[in-house]
Amino acid sequence: MTKFTDLNLNPKVLKAIAEAGYESPTPIQAGAIPPALEGRDVLGIAQTGTGKTASFTLPMITQLARGRARARMPRSLVLCPTRELAAQVAENFDTYTQHLKLTKALLIGGVSFKEQDTLIDKGVDVLIATPGRLLDHFERGKLILTDVKVMVVDEADRMLDMGFIPDIERIFGLVPFTRQTLFFSATMAPEIERITNTFLSNPARIEVARQATTSENITQGVLMFKASRKDREATEKRKVLRALIDAEGEKCTNAIIFCNRKMDVDTVAKSLKKYKYDAAPIHGDLDQSQRTRTLDAFRAGELRFLVASDVAARGLDVPAVSHVFNFDVPSHAEDYVHRIGRTGRAGRDGKAIMICVPRDEKNFEDVERLVQKEIPRLDNPLGKGEERPKASEAPAEKAAATSDDKPKRTRSRSRKSDTPKPEADAPQAEAPKADTAPTPEAKPAPTPEQTPEPKQADSSDNNRRARGGRGGSNRGRGGNDRDTNKVVGLGDHTPSFIELSFEERPKG
């Protein structure tokens, strides 16, 4: 087995490695360090959590041990996509350079320009920066990149996702053409491959794992979740998350919970704290000092749950993360590999659980296609149908109630008109009422003086009907009882408009 002592590193660097407790390099370190020490360009492709940071820091420190930096002219440059990753790289340099007199500067957002300018003015051997802040210093005339001998691009695929590729190309144009370039990425998108072909010269390609593969130490699972109602999805999804955490019990010593959107990060963190879970959010909109405090507390074991956006998905080295929960299916399948890579690091076992709602199923298919394996499905920890039975039973109960009530409403509305007729054999209880009611024959015929003049009203009604008016037609359709009573008791005085309908019209 290869050991660090076999890699021709500086003796003082080897001493720092031993004090840190490391003896044997990881596969990516064993493959990348020798060509890097020879001065060759290196293209390293390895899944996250395999020790890529030490793959470039150790040979860089060995090379920088000879020589001294000049003011505003760093001798090496490390580009990182996020502030947290840049800060972590800086910590690695502090660990491995403790026996060497090398200086460094960290250029990231959220920190005063004045403090950074002071460090640059003194001259630094290693400049660790995010692309945006580096270009800010350069445009202000505070930085000269013509003395850079080694340039490192870390997490290049994350640079692509965050839109830093134009900045990277510009920075490549500012550093010397004769520089040595170390390029590391977990995946190789077509755009990344184009940049490597353009800016790397005959690189040594070290690929220790198939692209976009996940560690075998990580147990994966997905819960296919459907809410009882669309407007309750967010609430029920957070309830399922809490149930998943509780189901893991003491095995879940700490965890990172990933969300796609920053607003969901805040909401989930607030919800967990409401239910007495020790949680805190971290995303790009928070103040840098707050992000640093939260991350330090999580690393120190003072914080159990870190609710994060993808700002924490790349490169953050917290060795003892037991679980990763994907509250959302990542929009980009490659992010799934990086997210779950926060657990199962340094040979430890880890577990990654994801919640997938119906609208995320397409993204989930992309994830399975990328990792080339089927992710095992998990049962709902709330019980089979815990969230759905209420939804499925409610329509049945509602339908039953509707079917029971419907006849009642029909009888109540049509009590007058739909009274069931008595059968032939049944006694007619209504006969006495019929006998007592006066019949038309018993009613005395009215005299012309007593008869009102309905002809004009009826004639006008007839005219309105002929013109399509509302008067008579509405009364006829409405079934008004008072309108019906008007035709009772006319006797011999039939209105003339009724008789007109029975007259024969002359032919021709």
pLDDT digits (tens, 9 = 90+) for 134-146: 999 999 999 999 9
Cα(109)–Cα(130) distance, rounded to whole angstroms?
Answer: 8
Tens digits of per-residue pLDDT, 426-455?
A: 444 444 444 444 444 444 455 444 544 444
Q: Please check whether residue 503 lies inside any domain of the structure.
A: no
Q: How high does pLDDT run on average in the chain?
A: 79
99 with 190, same domain: the answer is yes
Comparison of pLDDT for 503 and 282, the residue scoring more = 282
Q: Please check whether residue 181 lies inside any domain of the structure.
A: yes
SS3 content of the chain, % helix, strand, coil (to 5): 45, 10, 40
Tens digits of per-residue pLDDT, 265-322?
A: 999 999 999 999 999 999 878 887 888 899 889 989 999 999 998 876 665 667 789 9
Cα(391)–Cα(456) distance, rounded to whole angstroms?
Answer: 63
pLDDT band at 255 (very low <50, low <70, confident <90, very high): very high
Q: Please check whether residue 471 lies inside any domain of the structure.
A: no
Q: Please check whether residue 406 lies inside any domain of the structure.
A: no
Tens digits of per-residue pLDDT, 311-367?
A: 766 656 677 899 999 999 998 887 898 888 888 876 788 999 999 999 999 999 999
Name residue 62's amino acid: T
252 with 356, same domain: the answer is yes
Q: Tell me the mean pLDDT in the region 188-198.
A: 88
Cα(72)–Cα(74) distance, rounded to whole angstroms?
Answer: 6
How many whole angstroms from its chain centre is CA 316? 21
The candidate with the shortest Cα–Cα distance to 354, out of 385, 323, 322, 392, is 323
Q: Three-state DSSP class for 244?
A: helix
- Write down the pLDDT at residue 211: 57
Bridge partner residues of 232 (DSSP)? none
CB 308 within 8 A of CB 256: yes
Q: Please check whether residue 481 lies inside any domain of the structure.
A: no
- Write down the pLDDT at residue 434: 42
Q: Please check whether residue 18 lies inside any domain of the structure.
A: yes
pLDDT band at 206 (very low <50, low <70, confident <90, very high): very high
Q: Classify the phi-psi angles of 187: left when phi > 0, otherwise alpha if psi is within -120 to 50, otherwise beta.
A: beta
230 with 358, same domain: the answer is yes
Number of domains the chain is built from: 2
135 with 267, same domain: the answer is no
- Write down the pLDDT at residue 67: 80
242 with 174, same domain: the answer is no
174 with 282, same domain: the answer is no
Q: Which helix (H) or strand (E) holds 350?
A: strand 350-356
Q: For residue 491, is pLDDT > 70?
A: no
Q: For residue 417, is pLDDT > 50?
A: no
CB 231 within 8 A of CB 280: no
Rg, the chain, Cα only? 42
- What's the predicted TM-score (pTM) here? 0.60
Q: Three-state DSSP class for 174?
A: helix
Cα(24)–Cα(3) distance, rounded to whole angstroms?
Answer: 4
Cα(55)–Cα(352) distance, rounded to whole angstroms?
Answer: 26
- Write down the pLDDT at residue 335: 84
Q: Tell me the mean pLDDT in the region 54-82.
A: 91
**Who's near 39: CB < 8 A, 6+ residues apart?**
180
User: What is the extent of the structural domain holding 302?
Assistant: 218-388
Query: Which of 187, 207, 227 is a domain's end point?
Result: 207
160 with 237, same domain: the answer is no
Q: Classify the phi-psi angles of 39: left when phi > 0, otherwise alpha if psi is within -120 to 50, otherwise beta.
A: left
Q: Please check whether residue 69 lies inside any domain of the structure.
A: yes
- Write down the pLDDT at residue 274: 96
166 with 237, same domain: the answer is no
pLDDT band at 183 (very low <50, low <70, confident <90, very high): very high
Query: Which of 332, 360, 388 is a domain's end point?
Result: 388
Phi, psi dihedrals of residue 309, rounded to the nearest 5°: -90, -170
122 with 270, same domain: the answer is no
The candidate with the shortest Cα–Cα distance to 256, out of 315, 311, 314, 325, is 325
The candidate with the shortest Cα–Cα distance to 491, out of 459, 462, 450, is 450
178 with 293, same domain: the answer is no
Query: Which of 337, 357, 388 is a domain's end point?
Result: 388
- Write down the pLDDT at residue 332: 84
Tens digits of per-residue pLDDT, 236-247?
A: 999 999 999 999
- Write down the pLDDT at residue 126: 94
pLDDT band at 474 (very low <50, low <70, confident <90, very high): very low
201 with 226, same domain: the answer is no
- Residue pointed to by tokens 């420190």: 61
Percentage of the chain exceeding pLDDT 90: 48
**Who's near 272: CB < 8 A, 6+ residues apart?**
242, 257, 279, 305, 307
Cα(477)–Cα(148) distance, rounded to whole angstroms?
Answer: 94
- Write down the pLDDT at residue 98: 92
33 with 150, same domain: the answer is yes
Q: What CATH number corresponds to the domain at position 25? A: 3.40.50.300
Q: For residue 411, is pLDDT > 60?
A: no
Q: Please check whether residue 504 lies inside any domain of the structure.
A: no
- Residue pointed to by tokens 């130490």: 217
